[in-house]
Structure 1
């Protein structure tokens, strides 16, 4: 990926930035349009709802302070959440869930909690994205092969054998696979051409859709936006909806702020103000909820495209929202030529990037414990749901960190047969207590023992009490306690 570096950290003048921003906005629009539609279709909601979210992300969030280069809109990482929420609570409750999530984001930003998202373990973040990517790829294999995807993950796994048969023996299956593979091939090869400034995803959609004109494939349908707008229904609120609100708010906030950290490394302009950006995302989601649209996040693919295309100010992301609105108002029929298999191919590509097998392999080589947290998080997400998987991953990361911090060495030196010196160094916590007690209890019962704790930096209550009780149960024990100013 090429990287645009602004000539200085000072904002450029309006005249110098206007045309670069216009050009960048057109490029981002061309990338965002198929993704907005594809993410909505993959989420099991009308395609228009994805476009509405893209428009709000541009025209509303684009104007708000927080980040300059980030582009907001519907995200592939939220498709699993949306699909589950719609299946559990119905499409009518989606607006209420997104509204509640947006208000929670605004509250978290005002309480200055945005910066704390940067403290989440990278392994958990990678695991969350990998789990989402796995579920996304698994679901999109079905429309990729010309079939409707099953509702649950279990059904998706169970149907893989039948999917393979259908994809290789039926006209719809063969056509879908051919068009999907063509889409991925064109998108990959286009990056190597001299015209790579034109988005490869757009070229792939145009080429594959043209080839598929005469093939028997299901296609998308986008009508007037006003037909799908459904004002929020507060009467649908219940405990399940509240849980969905919390999940949406946490996941959308994490994805947006992780994206901000990545985008800030791509340019030398103003840095993201995390709390302010969280408020901006919350305002956008609140409006999307009122309109019954999809939830939004700051999206790394569109944001990176914005930087690569030469954007200078937030004008580019505002204009991309305007182009989305104009297109669906003036030329909605153009989208009806795009097969669902083409959008599925784009989302398979997006899911694969979220999975990031190369990053997973690299983590296994450098830190197997962190890699285990990643795999546990991703696997739990696939087997259960996103919230459960993320919580399990966070708990695993906390346990791993506690284990790493609780480094303790116990050295036993024998001075003859009846005198032993035990030197304890490091952090004596309950996590290391079994090993410490095993060492102490293995000493000959009739020997004199000196237990030197002067090298202990931290002695928790569990270890302290266990050592005292062990010493009381036998004779000839001398305890050298750690200095009070060294133990915290």
Structure 2
């Protein structure tokens, strides 16, 4: 009697095709909105989305992550364009991409996982706050000021314009409508259709007859500007490094989050860093926006049932087909609708619930988060992030310097001093204060066997105290 072994059915492509269409519908308004908020032509956001799909999507590293222009880089791009001009963007993104490729080849990708979560949350919260603040202006049909201080200073005039002018009232209405529809759609039986897309369609339809500024999208060939290699200077080189570090961190943090959403192959961090670098190199050559792996589109890809990287490649194909065949459709979308989408994205970056949870769990970590976010708002992204990293290092050093010094009297002439923990220079003032307060006695025994780490500063201070006092017996740990 023969047995027949059933072969598994070959995988079907339809789940990936369906997922790619959903991701495309989410990515299209975000690509355009991020470009407009960054102060560059809307078409450049679509170029970056296409490169993210067709180039990064084909490269190894991650299976489910979707790459494209990121809301987290909007503030950085806008500041860079204001400081160096739009023509410098290409060479900056090109340099950042090459740095990412080098970091990936040097296997530095895994080190991005060592950054304090408080600093990461603080960085995202600071970016989210600046993004939300800037996008309030398009609600009222106003151009957002160039600096954060000016944005805060202009809020009173902005509120007046929003409530007293036809453009302001219309923009406020369609912006709020966009947010409400997106929020309500998640609670309907049809939430498989992206709520973001439904909100854009509904709000744009309502705003057809209203006096609102709208998107203008033309052929991609009109905005693609090949990189000018004659521009680099000290400021541009610094911007390259900032773009590379921030884009790499955002991509790899996204990878860690997306890996928890599915049971497929895990991200290979160094290869993913190379893939992101290749994508940014291509975007730089074309003069487009920088890219990262983006959590919103990546989560949408997983939720839509994607199985392979085909879905993210096809989403790039649909973006390209749309902008080539139907660019005029985007001209019906008011800028206030895109601003609403970016306010929503900024609020997600701000993540107030996560900030409150961290504050309840660890106040010191929450302080690092707040410091990072506030400095990003008051200064710039690089300064705030570096200050946050420094604060996290200092906090860690302080936590690791836990030291207890116990003084016990054995009669009037004998005292026992037990030192436990990590004796570092951060604890030196307290250690010396305790030792100098030991009462005068004929014999003092200082037990250091409980010290896990004794740095040079504390070691020298204890030796000098013992030599100056006399009658001190030091008991050191036994060496292995």
When the two structures are superposed, what TM-score results if normalisation uses the length of structure 2? Answer: 0.97
Contact kept, 8 Å, 1:17 with 1:312, in 2: the verdict is: no
Instruction: Name 2:434's counterpart in structure 1.
Output: 439
Match of residue 59, structure 1, among 32, 38, 54: 54
In the alignment, is the contact (CA less than 8 A) between 1:61 and 1:280 conserved in 2?
Answer: yes
Matched, 1:200 2:198: no
C-alpha distance in 1 between matches for 2:466 and 2:304: 70
Determine helix, strand or coil for the equivalent of 1:174: helix
**In 1, Cα distance between equivalents of 2:166 and 2:414:** 84
Deviation of residue 146 (structure 1)?
A: 1.8
Residue by residue, what CA displacement relative to the aligned partner does 1:60-102 show, whole Å, maximum 9, x if unpaired? 1000111110000000000011011101110000000000000
Say whether the 8 Å CA contact 1:220–1:335 is kept in structure 2. yes
1:416: Cα distance to partner?
2.8
The whole-number CA distance in structure 2 between the counterparts of 1:448 and 1:294 is 72
Query: Is the 2:415–2:441 Cα contact (8 Å) retained in structure 1?
Result: no
1:180 matched to which residue of 2? Answer: 175
Aligned residue number for residue 308 of structure 2: 313
Q: Which runs of 4+ in 1 moved over 4 A?
A: 12-15
- 8 A contact 1:218–1:339 mirrored in 2: yes
- Name the structure 2 match of 1:78: 73
Residue aligned with 2:264, SS:
coil
CA deviations over 1:171-199 (Å, ceiling 9, x no partner): 11111111110000000000111111110
Q: Residue 328 in 1 paired to residue 323 in 2? A: yes
Contact 1:137 1:347 in 2 (8 A): yes
Matched, 1:386 2:381: yes
Is the contact made by 1:445 and 1:474 (CA closer than 8 Å) also made in structure 2? no
Matches of 1:79 and 1:455, distance apart in 2: 52
Q: Is the CA contact 1:288–1:294 (under 8 Å) kept in the aligned structure 2? A: yes
Q: State the shift of 1:444 in Å.
A: 2.6
**191, 201, 226: which one pairs with 2:221?**
226
**Which residue matches 1:430?**
425
1:132-181 superposed Cα distances (whole Å, 9 cap, x missing partner): 00110011111122211000011001111111111122211111111110
**1:476 positional shift:** 1.8
Residue pair 1:133, 1:355 contacting (<8 A) in 2 also: yes
Please say if residues 266 and 307 of structure 1, whose CA atoms lie closer than 8 Å, have aligned partners that are also in contact. yes
Paired residues of 2:446 and 2:474 also in contact (CA < 8 A): yes
The reply to whether residue 361 of structure 1 matches residue 356 of structure 2 is yes
Give distance in 2, aligned partners of 1:222 and 1:142.
Answer: 21
Q: What's the CA shift for 1:418?
A: 3.6
* Shift of residue 446, structure 1, vs aligned partner: 5.2
User: Residue 145 of structure 2: SS of its match in structure 1?
Assistant: coil
Q: 1:483 is paired with a residue of what secondary structure?
A: coil
Answer whether contact 2:412 2:441 (CA < 8 A) is retained. Answer: no
One of 18, 23, 27 as aligned partner of 2:18? 23
Alpha-carbon contact 2:414-2:441 (below 8 Å) kept: no
Match of 1:459 among 451, 454, 465: 454
Could you give the per-residue CA deviations for residues 228-254 of structure 1, whole angstroms, max 9, x where no partner exists? 011111110001001000000000001
Cα pair 2:62 2:268 within 8 Å, conserved: yes
Question: Does the 8 Å contact 1:422/1:450 carry over to 2?
Answer: yes
Shift of 1:358: 0.1
Q: Which runs of 5+ in 2 are unaligned?
A: 1-6
Separation in 2, partners of 1:419, 1:344: 74
d(CA) in 2 for partners of 1:25, 1:463: 61
CA–CA distance in structure 2, aligned partners of residues 13 and 339 of structure 1: 50
Distance 1:240 1:308 in 2: 41
2:346 paired with 1:351: yes
Q: Is the 8 A contact 1:17 1:313 kept in 2?
A: no
* Secondary structure of 2:460's aligned partner: helix
1:479 shift after superposition: 1.2
Q: Distance in 2 between matches of 1:210 and 1:67?
A: 38
Contact 1:124 1:397 (C-alpha < 8 Å) held by counterparts:
yes
Q: How has the CA–CA distance of structure 1 residues 181 and 447 changed in structure 2, closer, same or farther, with 3 Å as cutoff?
A: farther
Note the aligned Cα RMSD (angstroms). Answer: 1.3
Report which stretch shifted further, 167-176 or 86-95. 167-176
Sort the Cα spacing of 1:162 and 1:445 in 2 relative to 1 into closer, same or farther, 3 A. Answer: farther
Indicate which of 122, 129, 138 corresponds to 1:127.
Answer: 122
| 1:212 partnered with 2:212 | no
Distance in 2 between the 1:274 and 1:16 partners? 27
Shift, 1:448, TM fit: 3.4
